[in-house]
Amino acid sequence: MTLALYHQSPTLLTFTATVLDVRDGAVALDATAFYPEGGGQNGDAGVLRWPGGEAQVLDTRKDKPSGVVWHEVEGTSPPVGTPVTGEVDAARRWRHMARHSAEHLLAQAFLRVNPAFRVAAVSMRNAESTLDLEGDPAEADVEAAETLLRETLARGDLTLETPTVPEADLHLYPLRRETKVRGDVRLVIFREADGTPFDVSACGGTHVPRAGQVAPVVVLRTERIRSGLTRIVFMAGEEAAAFLTGVYREARALAQGFSVPVPALPQRVTALVAERDALKVEAAALRERLAVALADAAPLEEVSGVPLRWLTLDDAALLPAALAATPAGEVRGAIAPGGRCGIGSGRVDVPAGNLLGAALKVTGGKGGGRPALAQGTTERPGEFRQAVRSLLADALQPG
Contacts (Cβ under 8 Å, ≥6 apart) of 304: 392, 393, 396, 397
pTM of the predicted protein model? 0.75
Residue 230 CA from chain centroid, whole number: 13
Three-class HEC string of 230-248: EEEEEEEHHHHHHHHHHHH
Task: Report mean pLDDT in 10-residue bins for the chain, 399 residues.
Answer: 90 95 94 92 95 94 91 93 96 95 97 96 94 96 96 91 92 90 91 94 94 95 92 96 96 94 94 96 93 90 91 93 93 95 94 95 94 96 94 71
Distance, in Å, from the CA atom of 207 to the CA atom of 35, rounded to the nearest integer, reads 11
Q: CB–CB of 367/348 below 8 Å? A: no
Residue-wise pLDDT for 308-357, tens only, equals 999 999 999 999 999 998 999 999 999 999 999 999 999 999 999 999 99
pLDDT at 399: 45
Helix (H) or strand (E) holding 294, with range, is helix 265-297
Helix (H) or strand (E) holding 257, with range, is helix 237-257
Residue 396 CA from chain centroid, whole number: 58
Q: CB–CB of 48/55 below 8 Å? A: yes
Beta strands 31-32 and 68-74 are: unpaired
Go through the domains of the chain in sequence order and give each one's CATH number: 3-88 (2.40.30.130), 94-252 (3.30.980.10), 290-395 (3.10.310.40)
Contacts (Cβ under 8 Å, ≥6 apart) of 165: 172, 173, 184, 185, 187
Helix 237-257 to helix 90-113 angle (10° resolution) is: 80
Distance, in Å, from the CA atom of 379 to the CA atom of 88, rounded to the nearest integer, reads 63
Neighbouring-strand partners of residue 200: 189
Distance, in Å, from the CA atom of 171 to the CA atom of 2, rounded to the nearest integer, reads 29
